[in-house]
Structure 1
Amino acid sequence: MKAMILAAGRGERMRPLTDSVPKPLLTAGGRPLIEHTIESLVRSGFVDIVVNTAYLGELIEARLGDGARFGARIAYSVEGEALETGGGIHRALPLLGEEPFLVVNGDIATEFPFGQLRRPISGLAHLVLVPNPSHNPRGDFNLCGGRISDSGDDRFTFSGIGVYRPELFAGCSPGKFPLAPLLRRAMADGLVSGEMYTGFWMDIGTIDRLQAFDEYLKSKAKRNS
């Protein structure tokens, strides 16, 4: 199974840090965010990785190269302008192939065991949900009996980790578009499964959260030394 890391965003909420550095290359624990994700994927057996880029994407390519030093094979899907999640994945489909593939947001930090997603999915998508953080108290989707829906009050937060079939994007045209409407249509047809993860997870969407992740990694390193 191939994996894709979404790394094309501008990172407006992280300015001024992102004025000259793309968000995936911001550091925590002395390493760029995207390198933490790549290493986690490789440890879980994902060695064929696609990274989409737009804003300052050349810096990401220069840093990661072909992925060999991580034990990976990295291919790049270059976007002239960021195409949002749906458009970005759609553009990368020729690199991802015809089988289900894993997609991970480039601005999350987690200890989720990616290897457990290397299994067949029954529908068009499989999403990992997490307990609602303070910045998203109402959550995104409902999870019941292993199926995800867009109805009900008991909602959890989408982690930015999902497995998708290429068929989810059938009928889509190239360009900029979000992923959520595609998922909601598939949910209405009962074609989105899901699971809950209660371990370490952070959305690195602000400078404060980046600093919190940095402190988490430093504290973990001290405990393990």
Structure 2
Amino acid sequence: MKALILAAGKGERMRPLTLNTPKPLLLAGGKPLIVHHIERLQAAGFRELVINHAWLGEQIEQTLGDGRSLGVSIEYSAEGEPLETAGGIVRALPQLTRNSDWFAVINGDIWCDFDFRQLQPLASAKALLVLTDNPGHHPDGDFHLDDDGLVLSEGQPRLTFSGISLLHRSLFDGLTPGSRKLAPLLREAMVAGQVQGLYHPGAWLDIGTPERLQMLNQQLASPELPRS
């Protein structure tokens, strides 16, 4: 099973840091954000990765190469212009599903201590979403996780989608390459009871602003990493 790291965003909110550096290569704890993901994926047994990119994507390829130095094999899905999440996944599907119908997807602009070994294929679902506690900048959350482990678009309490998921290729049946978002596809699958969830109680940060990147660097420099 392969993993896709989403790294095509332009990082508008991170400017001026992203004017000359793609967001996944911004340093956190002395190493690029995307390298934290690669190391955790490698430790969890993911050896084949795909990285999509658009803005300054050649820097990502130059920095990571074929992934051999990090113990993985990396392929790239170059988009030119960003295709949104679902569009980027559809573009990369031929690379992601050569040997398995399931693949992991990780947003390149988060940091977390989630154990990717928990991402296991499910017989009765098209998606498995990792949900976490609502951060201060997103207090209303995204989805409800019910007692049976189903993720619903309605209901209380609500949790925040962490940007980590395990998806089945059938979620994208009938879609042609083009710019489209993932959320509408997930909500359709939720109505059909085909989205399950995992709750992650550990550390998680959405690195969406320079201030949050600074917060992460401060936390990584601490002996204990507190929950944000």
Category of TM-score, reference length = shorter chain: over 0.9
Structure 1 SS opposite 2:135? coil
SS in 2 for 1:155: coil
One-letter code aligned to 1:65: G
How far, CA to CA, are the matches of 2:217 and 2:183 in structure 1? 30
> Is 1:218 paired with 2:214?
no
How big is the shift at 1:37? 0.7
Mapped to 1, the partners of 2:224 and 2:145 lie a distance apart of: 35
Write out aligned runs for 1:25-44 (5 A). Answer: 25-44=25-44
Aligned identity (percent) is 55
**TM-score of the aligned structures, taking structure 2 as reference length:** 0.95
Match of 1:165 among 168, 171, 189: 168
Where does residue 92 of structure 2 map in the other structure? Answer: 92
Using the TM superposition, give the Cα deviation of residue 116 of structure 1 relative to its aligned residue in structure 2, in angstroms: 1.4
- TM-score, structure 1 length as denominator? 0.96
Task: Report Cα offsets for 1:39-75 as digits up to 9, x if no partner.
Answer: 0100110110000000000000000000000000000
2:126 counterpart residue number: 124
Q: Which residue of 2 aligns with 1:70?
A: 70
The structure 1 residue matched to 2:191, chosen from 155, 176, 188, is 188
Deviations 1:168-197 (A, max 9, x none): 001112110000000000000000000111
Q: 2:139 aligns with which of 127, 137, 140?
A: 137
Corresponding residue for residue 105 of structure 1: 107
| CA distance in 2: counterparts of 1:218 and 1:121, whole angstroms | 41
Amino acid at match of 1:212: M
Deviation at 1:119, TM superposition (A): 4.1
2:128, 2:195 within 8 Å by CA — same for their partners in 1?
Answer: yes
For the residues of structure 1 that align with 2:190 and 2:9, how far apart are their CA atoms? 26
Q: Which residue type is aligned with residue 76 of structure 1? A: Y
Q: Distance in 2 between matches of 1:67 and 1:44?
A: 16
Quote the Cα distance in structure 1 between the aligned partners of 2:223 and 2:37: 17
Partner SS, residue 18 of structure 1: coil
Letter of the 1:37 partner, please give it: H
Deviation, structure 1 residue 219: 1.3
Quote how far apart the aligned CAs of 1:153 are. 3.2
Which residue of 189, 198, 209 maps to 2:212?
Answer: 209
Post-superposition shift, 1:164?
0.3
For structure 1, the residue ranges without an aligned partner over 5 or more in a row are: none
CA RMSD of aligned residues (A): 1.3
Question: Quick check: 109-118 or 180-189, which moved more?
Answer: 109-118
CA distance in 1 between counterparts of 2:217 and 2:190 reads 36
Describe the superposition over 1:93-137 as per-residue Cα deviations: whole angstroms up to 9, x where unpaired. Answer: 000014210000000100000011134453100000001001110
Q: Indicate if the aligned counterparts of 2:121 and 2:166 stay in contact, CA closer than 8 A.
A: no
Indicate the SS of the match to 2:66.
Answer: coil
Q: Tell me how far apart the structure 1 counterparts of residues 5 and 76 of structure 2 sit (CA, whole Å).
A: 10
Q: Using the alignment, how far apart are the partners of 2:120 and 2:192 within structure 1?
A: 24
Aligned letter for 1:150?
Answer: S
Rounded to whole Å, the distance in 2 between the matches of 1:179 and 1:218 is 34
Higher helix share: 1
Counterpart for residue 156 of structure 1: 159
CA distance in 1, matches of 2:121, 2:144: 22
The 3 A distance-change label for structure 1 pair 89 and 44 is: same
The residue type equivalent to 1:208 in the other structure is E
**Number of residue-to-residue matches in the alignment:** 222
Q: Alpha carbons of 1:164 and 1:121: their partners in 2 closer, same or farther (altered >3 Å)?
A: farther
Range with greater deviation from structure 2 (150-159 or 88-97): 150-159
